[in-house]
């Protein structure tokens, strides 16, 4: 089987596995004052320092969470009180569901946020919290966050950045972006599922917690932290870049798909090098995913949703793709992608396109 669904979750990096086993052997609750508790706390604080430094912040400003969804929700609930919420049209459901009343900023046809509309909306509202993603999970589109941050600051708005898909795949710095908070997630960068973090800018001195519990994380997130998971998270984030040129492999996959009649979505905007979104006019996304799976190639249709069913992509709809929005698959290369997987993809895709043209694949309505 060939795994090309890294944006759903990355394979565990060996550095993360080793760090987790070491931390599991230590055991302990980091809140305990005895020696084992102190050893667990050391592991956790080392991870905090490493992650904060890696993503352009200070250790004291990093709050561990259970993942990217919680980090986004903590930012929205914790920083958004008394502020108008403003989000991009292609945000992940982690943000959309936490901000149901938000003003929505449209994107251009290439998926990039319309900064002119953002400027107008911020000029017309009072204090705001703006939430924008750095890289999109379905298309890989990289947003002009530094420009958005300048606008936000000019209007006195806070900016929360969802860097869940970007972290580990491109340089990411909270300070460099000029944002007020940044969400990251362990399993999207090769760590274990079950940990994430919200990194706050030093100027953000207070955040109200979502979970109070026993006052852990300096009162910002209650609950006993999963020390081994956190150790794996940090080890994955610090893992050296592999020798594989993911961009070259992605381009090879795209060339093969184009030759089979595909359209590449959002290819004229900056994108993550591991991601491509391919529309095959006439075939439903779900049908394509199943056809590829039968050929041993694992891809997805838009965002993986908890029920396993494929919902119409709000990202592609926001880009104005109309019916094509239901006919696109996401191919996302993991950190350990191999050339053989791309060749398997190319062969399976060509066969699927041929079968569709021969009327052997159910056509989209
Ligand atoms: N934000 C983006 C852009 C994502 O792609 C995801 C997950 O796919 C999340 C947030 C949620 O992260 P997690 O799975 O760690 O809760």
What does the pLDDT profile of the chain (365 residues) look like in tens digits? 999 999 999 999 999 999 999 999 999 999 999 999 999 999 999 999 999 999 999 999 999 999 999 999 999 999 999 999 999 999 999 999 999 999 999 999 999 999 999 999 999 999 999 999 999 999 999 999 999 999 999 999 999 999 999 999 999 999 999 999 999 999 999 999 999 999 999 999 999 999 999 999 999 999 999 999 999 999 999 999 888 999 999 999 999 999 999 999 999 999 999 999 999 998 999 999 999 999 999 999 965 454 455 667 999 999 999 988 899 999 999 999 999 999 999 999 999 999 988 887 777 76
Residues with CB under 6 A from ligand 1: 67-69, 72, 92, 94, 133, 137, 162, 164-165, 185, 196
The number of the ligand 1 atom at minimal distance from the alpha carbon of 135 is 3
Please tell me the distance between residue 74's alpha carbon and the centre of ligand 1 in angstroms: 14
From 92, 143, 160, 274, give the residue whose CB has the most ligand 1 atoms within 8 Å, as the site to mutate: 92
Question: Measuring from atom 8 of ligand 1, which residue has the nearest CA?
Answer: 8
Three-state secondary structure along 204-245? CCCCCCCCCCCCCHHHCCCCCCCHHHHHHHHHHHHCCCCCCC
Pairing assessment for the beta strands 158-162 and 128-133 based on DSSP bridges: parallel
Half-sphere exposure of 317 (CA within 13 A, CB side): 8
C-alpha 337/C-alpha 341 separation (Å) is 7
From 165, 190, 233, give the residue whose CB has the most ligand 1 atoms within 8 Å, as the site to mutate: 165
Domain with CATH 3.40.640.10 in the chain: 14-238
Active site (catalytic) residues: 305
Please tell me the distance between residue 184's alpha carbon and the centre of ligand 1 in angstroms: 8
Is 3.40.640.10 the CATH classification of the domain at 14-238? yes
Domain with CATH 3.90.1150.10 in the chain: 2-9+242-357
Please tell me the distance between residue 94's alpha carbon and the centre of ligand 1 in angstroms: 7
Question: Topology of 2-9+242-357 in CATH?
Answer: 3.90.1150
Please tell me the distance between residue 282's alpha carbon and the centre of ligand 1 in angstroms: 29
From 133, 185, 195, give the residue whose CB has the most ligand 1 atoms within 8 Å, as the site to mutate: 185
Quick one: tokens of 180?
């007020």
pLDDT of residue 308: 58
C-alpha 5/C-alpha 344 separation (Å) is 14
pLDDT of residue 306: 45
């Amino acid at each position: 089987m060939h795994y090309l669904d890294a944006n759903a979750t990355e394979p565990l990096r060996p550095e993360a596995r080793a760090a987790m086993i070491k931390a599991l052997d230590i055991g302990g609750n980091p809140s305990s004052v005895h020696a084992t508790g102190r050893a667990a706390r050391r592991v956790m604080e080392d991870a905090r320092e490493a992650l904060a430094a890696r993503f352009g912040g200070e250790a004291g400003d990093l709050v561990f969470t259970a993942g990217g969804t919680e980090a986004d929700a903590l930012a929205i609930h914790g920083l958004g009180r008394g502020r108008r919420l403003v989000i991009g049209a292609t945000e992940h459901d982690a943000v959309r569901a936490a901000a149901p009343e938000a003003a929505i900023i449209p994107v251009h046809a290439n998926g990039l946020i319309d900064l002119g509309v953002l400027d107008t909306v911020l000029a017309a509202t009072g204090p705001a919290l703006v939430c924008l993603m750095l890289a999109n999970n379905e298309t890989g589109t990289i947003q002009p966050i530094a420009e958005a941050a300048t606008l936000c600051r000019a209007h006195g708005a806070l900016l929360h950045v969802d860097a869940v898909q970007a972290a580990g795949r491109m340089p990411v710095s909270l300070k460099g972006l000029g944002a007020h908070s940044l969400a990251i997630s362990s399993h999207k960068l090769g760590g274990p599922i079950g940990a994430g973090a919200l990194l706050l800018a030093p100027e953000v001195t207070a955040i109200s917690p979502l979970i109070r519990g026993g006052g852990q994380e300096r009162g910002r997130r209650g609950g006993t932290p999963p020390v081994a998971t956190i150790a794996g998270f940090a080890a994955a984030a610090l893992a050296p870049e592999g020798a594989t040129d993911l961009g070259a492999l992605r381009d090879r996959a795209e060339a093969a798909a184009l030759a089979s009649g595909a359209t590449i979505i959002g290819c004229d905007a900056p994108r993550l090098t591991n991601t491509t979104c391919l529309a095959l006019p006439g075939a439903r996304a779900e049908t394509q995913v199943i056809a590829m799976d039968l050929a041993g190639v694992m891809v997805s249709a838009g965002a993986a949703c908890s029920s396993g069913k494929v919902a119409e992509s709000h990202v592609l709809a926001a880009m104005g793709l109309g019916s094509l929005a239901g006919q696109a698959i996401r191919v996302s290369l993991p950190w350990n992608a191999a050339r053989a997987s791309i060749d398997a993809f190319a062969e399976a895709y060509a066969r699927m396109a041929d079968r569709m043209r021969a009327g052997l694949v159910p056509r989209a309505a």
